[in-house]
Amino acid sequence: MAIISSCIASTLKDAATSLRSGNLVAFPTETVYGLGVDATNKDAVAHLYQVKGRPTDHPLIVHISSMANLDKWAREIPEYAIKLARTFWPGPMTLILPRTNLAKDFITGNQDSVGIRVPSHPLATVLLTEFEELGGFGVAAPSANRFGKVSPTSSDAVFEELSGYLLPTDLILNGGPCEVGVESTIINCTQDLPEILRPGAITSTMISTLIGLQVNQIATGSNKSTIKAPGLLQSHYAPRAKVFLSTTPNLGDGFIALSEIPTPPDAIRLASPKNNKEYAQLLYQALRLADTKQLPNVIVIPPTGDDLAIAICDRLEKCSYKS
């Protein structure tokens, strides 16, 4: 497979054609890199699950170029979901909605709902638009990492994760580092009230302020929701190094914290973000660096706040070491 760095219009058209032919195309979004596949092509989706090493009953998010195509995939869309889509799309938000017949069991993990997102990265927008012009309906794209591992926020990270699994006909598009750095907010819109299944850059305060409804937040490991989502497993987003939260590093341990927190003696600093936005941008790259440096442990001091800190803390909880 090739990494394509000069993503001019003709390359994106070729990439869209390749998707339509059943190949995989890893592409940048504003959250993390996705591993794209034609969401209506059963064999190609089977190949994607194999490359990811992901159990087939875990659903995929379908990416579309604009809200105009939402009706093709989803039905009985509640008023509050329309409002969310109009306000936060294109952007880092995924809506879970009742599915139409287009959304087959092989992308929904046999559930009656489908996850839909309109990403805002310009390269993703052009790729999806070209794909739809070729007759495609949507591109299913999980984060472009092996199942349970850290999501990639650069094309190099995608290569490092998946080069051993992709075919020569598959592609990786390079669109630079991801602006948000953590995965989209997932909102279950199949009930009277919205429920956050995975926190992200669109926060529960932003959602409830917009729609004037109470927003529920599903707890890690909770069995209250009937919805299945791998990000809800206890261990996810994990590097090989063991991640410990808010403990004192030993000699040679990695260390991640806001720049205002000094590096403890003997620790190896992996990132010094200035604020929570930068923290989200740098977190996954820093966890990957720990593995490149073959560090046994990483000590992370989680950020605080009700902004992106919530999403960061959610991922840190899930990747931290449980004895």
Closest to 71 in 3D by CA, of 59, 57, 85: 85
Helix/strand/coil for 177? coil
| One-letter amino acid for residue 264 of the chain | P
Q: Where do we find the tokens 């977190």?
A: 283
Contact criterion met (CB below 8 Å) for 252 and 266: yes
From candidates 48, 59, 84, 202, binder to ligand TXA by CB under 6 A: 59
Among 18, 41, 111, 153, binds ligand TXA (CB under 6 A): 111
Which among 76-84, 126-134, 143-151, 252-260 is the span making contact with Mg ion, rule CB under 5 A?
143-151
How many binding residues for ligand TXA (CB under 6 A)?
Answer: 28
C-beta of 228: minimal distance to Mg ion in Å?
A: 14
* Tokens of residue 95, six digits: 């809506």
Closer to ligand TXA by Cβ: residue 255 or 284? 284
Q: Which is nearer to ligand TXA, 272 or 318 (CB)?
A: 318
Give CB contacts under 8 A, 24+ apart, made by 38-41: 38/131, 38/136, 38/139, 38/140, 39/103, 39/107, 39/137, 39/138, 39/139, 39/140, 40/102, 40/104, 40/136, 40/137, 40/138
The answer to whether residue 113 forms part of the interface with ligand TXA (CB under 6 A) is: yes
The contacts of residue 262 (CB under 8 Å, 6+ apart) are none
Closest CA to 47 of 139, 167, 135: 167
Stretch that binds Mg ion, among 18-26, 135-143, 218-226, 249-257 (CB under 5 A): 135-143
CA distance 26 to 193: 34
Report if residue 229 touches ligand TXA, rule: CB under 6 A: yes
| Chain CA centroid to CA 16, Å | 20
C-alpha R_g of the chain: 19
Q: Which of 29, 94, 143, 155 binds Mg ion (CB under 5 A)?
A: 143
Contact residue for ligand TXA among 230, 245, 277, 291 (CB under 6 A): 230
Contact residue for ligand TXA among 90, 91, 115, 239 (CB under 6 A): 115
Q: Which stretch binds ligand TXA (CB under 6 A): 3-11, 53-61, 65-73, 168-176?
A: 53-61
The option from Mg ion, ligand TXA, none interacting with 115 (CB < 5 to 8 A, set by class) reads ligand TXA
Q: Which is nearer to ligand TXA, 101 or 323 (CB)?
A: 101
> Can you name the residues that pair with 139 across neighbouring β-strands?
38, 63
Q: Which amino acid is at 225?
A: S
- Among positions 23, 41, 65, 94, the unique one binding ligand TXA when judged by CB under 6 A: 94
Stretch 127-166: interaction string toward ligand TXA, x if CB under 6 A: --------------xxx-----------------------
Residue ranges that bind Mg ion, judged by CB under 5 A: 143
Residue ranges that bind ligand TXA, judged by CB under 6 A: 29, 31-32, 34, 58-61, 94, 96, 108, 111, 113-115, 117, 119, 141-143, 183-184, 186, 197, 227, 229-231
